[in-house]
Homo-oligomer: A and B are copies of this chain.
Amino acid sequence: MKKKDIEKFSTLFKVLSDSNRLSMIQHLCGCREANVGEISRCCSIDLSVVSRHLSKLKNVGVLSAHKKGKEVYYDLNASDLAKILRELADEIEKTDCCR
């Protein structure tokens, strides 16, 4: 693992380390997609806070977004996220075997 990867994982984990953001991810697991207002109501978090959290999740590639009229819908990039987690798991165990 290179220095650049450490920063990458640090950034990803930082984004995944907030329980409000994890709640939103969980909510998005259960539905195809959701807009900002829905998530705000559903998770009982201020709209502006939700907006910023979603934006962070999008920036690291955990979510995707698209506009429908006035609304912005977010959906989970589940397979991408799962892939990254599995690759990291492999790497940790691979290096472990070298002992």
Contact = CB atoms under 8 A, between A and B. Distances in A.
Indicate how many identical chains form the complex. 2
Interface of A: 1, 6-7, 9-10, 13-14, 16-19, 22-23, 26, 29-32, 76, 78-79, 81-83, 85-86, 88-90, 92-93, 95-96, 98-99
Contacts of A16: 9-10, 13, 17
B93 A79 contact: yes
Given A14-B17, A81-B92, 10 more contacts: A1-B26, A7-B19, A10-B17, A78-B92, A78-B95, A82-B90, A82-B92, A82-B96, A85-B85, A89-B89
Contacts of A29: 1, 92, 95-96
Nearest to A76: B96
Nearest to A11: B17
A50 to B, nearest CB: 16
22 contacts: A6-B22, A10-B16, A10-B18, A13-B13, A13-B14, A13-B16, A14-B17, A31-B99, A32-B99, A76-B92, A76-B96, A78-B92, A78-B95, A79-B96, A81-B89, A81-B92, A82-B89, A82-B90, A82-B93, A85-B92, A86-B86, A89-B89
